[in-house]
Amino acid sequence: MNTIIRPALLVLLALVLAACSRATPYQPESASSSVRGGYSHSQIGPDLFRVRFNGNALTSRETVEAYLLYRAAELTIEQGGDWFTVLDRETEHTVTREIRRDPLYRPWFGPDYGAWSPYWSYRLRGRSWYYWDPWLARPFWADGIDQREIDEYEASADIRIAQGDVPADDLRAYDARQVLTDIGPRVVRPKG
């Protein structure tokens, strides 16, 4: 009975995790959201705003930066502006190294098996003998360790909102409606 239930539970858990694993959609940042990350902004002056977009581990740098620009354009329109200038911009890259034991690995020794434990000696070609004891162990091929690196990006920009025509000589100035038109088709909104 246990041999049937355990694999079924693992499959169910994998399906639930797969459903939750997706890149951050274009959404306000909220603790109640099913997917971590999103945009936020704060007003720092009469026509100055700090805009931020935080992506999760499945969101690329390009997407994070595009969504930041899209949010800046949306905010410009919401505030009655026509264009905005990016005064300062930063993209932060965080790398987390995660080392986890394989959940399916269960050694055939330990407290459940009394005082018995394995002890191996092995030899690599052209080298001396090596010894492995689970209680004094260095990492070994049988340990079942999963290592991975998680990349996350957070972009922020200080913008100044303005009305009228976009200055042609300012390379940091963006027409808000043009940004919405250009990036809009690539924006993924939350499901549900």
Residue 98: enclosing H or E segment and its boundaries? strand 83-101
Mean pLDDT of 153-180: 96
Mean pLDDT of 96-115: 63
Q: What pLDDT band is residue 5 in, cutting at 50, 70 and 90?
A: low
Q: In the numeric block, which tokens belong to residue 36?
A: 């971590």
Q: Could you give the CA distance from residue 113 to residue 108 in angstroms, rounded to a whole number?
A: 8
Q: Could you give the CA distance from residue 86 to residue 40 in angstroms, rounded to a whole number?
A: 16
Q: What pLDDT band is residue 187 in, cutting at 50, 70 and 90?
A: very high
- Could you report the per-residue pLDDT of 65-86, keeping only the tens digit for each? 999 999 999 999 999 999 999 9
Mean pLDDT of 125-141: 64
| Residue 134, Cβ density class (10 Å: 0-12 exposed, 13-18 middle, ≥19 buried) | middle
- The segment with the largest mean pLDDT, out of 29-33, 78-82, 113-117, 146-150, is 78-82
* pLDDT of the residue at 19: 47
- Could you report the per-residue pLDDT of 8-48, keeping only the tens digit for each? 666 655 554 554 568 889 999 987 777 889 999 999 999 99
* pLDDT of the residue at 142: 47
Please state whether the predicted TM-score (pTM) of the whole model is above 0.75: no
Q: What pLDDT band is residue 7 in, cutting at 50, 70 and 90?
A: low
Angstrom CA distances, 191 to 8, 20, 35, 156, stand at 27, 11, 10, 25
